[in-house]
Amino acid sequence: MDIDALWAATLPQVIGRAAHELKDALNGVTLNLEVLRSRSASGKGDAKSLESFAKAASDQLETLTARTEAVLFLARPQKGAADVAMTLKRLAVLLVPAAKADRITLTVEGYDVSMPTAAGPVAVQLALASGLLALIK
């Protein structure tokens, strides 16, 4: 099996682990926006009483955006040199919350400084994702 096929088999595992938490963030945005909409439409909320729902919606949207960007980063073919730190960050955004939901502590560090490598992007994604998935299992 070649490296592209191995990555094609690993990516669904990453997405499968992250799917619940991604959907959870989406539901959080939806729920808080619905509260804002319904309370403001009925006149039951002033700005101060709606502030916590607006903040929660904003926080959940930020989380949802980061997770969606991570999925897109991993799903799209990468061009140019791979960056180990960037790939690790994207995987951590998806897999750390998924591990936490399974009551597994997964700490990922070291992705705050760029780490370019001569290895191909697929090899980097596969190596990091496989390692993180093994830690979760």
Q: In this structure, are residues 86 and 114 in contact, taking their beta carbons and an 8 Å threshold? A: yes
CB neighbours of 42 closer than 8 A, spacing ≥ 6? Answer: none
- For range 67-76, the mean pLDDT: 96
Q: What is the mean pLDDT of the chain?
A: 93
Average pLDDT over residues 53-58: 94
Which sequence spans correspond to the domains of the chain?
3-136
**Is residue 46 over pLDDT 80?**
no
pLDDT over 90 (residue 96): yes
Cα(124)–Cα(82) distance, integer angstroms: 7
d(CA 50, CA 60): 16
